[in-house]
Structure 1
Amino acid sequence: MTDMCLPEAVLDIQIPFYDVDSMDIVWHGHYLKYFEDARCRLLDAIGYNYIAMRESGYGWPVVDVRLKYVDSARFNRRVRVVATLVEWQIRLKIQYRIIDLETDRLLTKGYTVQVAVSRATGEMCYATPPILEQKLRAYDQQRTREERV
């Protein structure tokens, strides 16, 4: 699966009032919420969302998060959150970019890392569960078919 196209999801958000502080700037913790929303869209796209993970016998807790605040997201502005799966062997590493749609300026970037944990034993898995590889292979085959059309 080394030549696989990297799964990506895009989510556009209009910054709501309840996410900003008194300066009309998004409170720093809400960026993680935007990451999560884009990550859920990405997992839906590959057919392995949190419900499918649970049903397949695995939990995938986030074990590492990194954020780099480049500029501020502001009330009522439209932003685009892009989530890209960049690693899937042994762990899921998803990179994120939040971009102001009016200026095309990068506002925030970062990544999350998740690991597979067996729901039956509670033990961390040190290999990629076969179900994830199957889902990624199916996603890649679908994308390849779509590109040929």
Structure 2
Amino acid sequence: MRSRGVHSVQIAVEVPFFDVDMMQVVWHGHYVKYLEQARCALLAELGHDYPAMLASGYAWPVIDMQLRYVQPAVFGQHLTVRAELVEWESRLKIHYLITDAASGTRLTRASTVQVAVDIATREMQLVSPPAMRIAIERRLAELGALR
């Protein structure tokens, strides 16, 4: 298992007013939305996004999510959300880092784990389906990211 990712993407997020709670900080549940946006960008970059997953006959539910809140984000703050692919052979594991875009100050660290589930049978797969592995490995080879 890898502890460092093989490829990452970054997205920009400006905290909207409706994500802030009465304590004037981003409500904790909205960070999950920021992770999802970064994960979608990463999967698109890797050539196997959610429509491709669905077309291959597999759903990829999140089965584990961990977040560590270091400092709060506030209304109007510009954030950088980085998603980094760590594993894809038997499950999809992604690490995340949310930072202040201007200062680079760390705000949140997170990780998610997703597994393939056959849509027809609803059975969890013990290895990632070939369509996912092939697409990701092809793209990583193009990027020179495979070691």
Question: TM-score, normalized by length of structure 1?
Answer: 0.90
Aligned to 1:46: 46
Aligned to 1:15: 15
Aligned to 1:60: 60
**AA aligned opposite 2:38:** A
Aligned to 2:109: 109
Deviations 1:69-112 (A, max 9, x none): 00001110100000001011211010000000122110000101
Aligned to 2:69: 69
Secondary structure at the counterpart of residue 44 of structure 1: helix
State the Cα distance separating 1:140 from its structure 2 match: 1.5
State the Cα distance separating 1:133 from its structure 2 match: 1.4
Identity %: 44
Give the Cα separation in 1 of the matches to 2:69 and 2:7.
Answer: 24
Give the Cα separation in 2 of the matches to 1:126 and 1:141.
Answer: 24
State the Cα distance separating 1:63 from its structure 2 match: 0.4
Secondary structure at the counterpart of residue 139 of structure 1: helix
**AA aligned opposite 1:60:** W
Aligned to 2:125: 125
State the Cα distance separating 1:142 from its structure 2 match: 1.9
Aligned to 1:6: 6
Give the Cα separation in 2 of the matches to 1:140 and 1:57.
Answer: 23
Unpaired runs of 5+ residues, structure 1, are none
Give the Cα separation in 1 of the matches to 2:127 and 2:12.
Answer: 34
Aligned to 1:95: 95
**AA aligned opposite 1:19:** D
Give the Cα separation in 2 of the matches to 1:140 and 1:40.
Answer: 16
Question: TM-score, normalized by length of structure 2?
Answer: 0.91
Q: How many residues align?
A: 142
- Cα root mean square deviation, aligned: 1.5
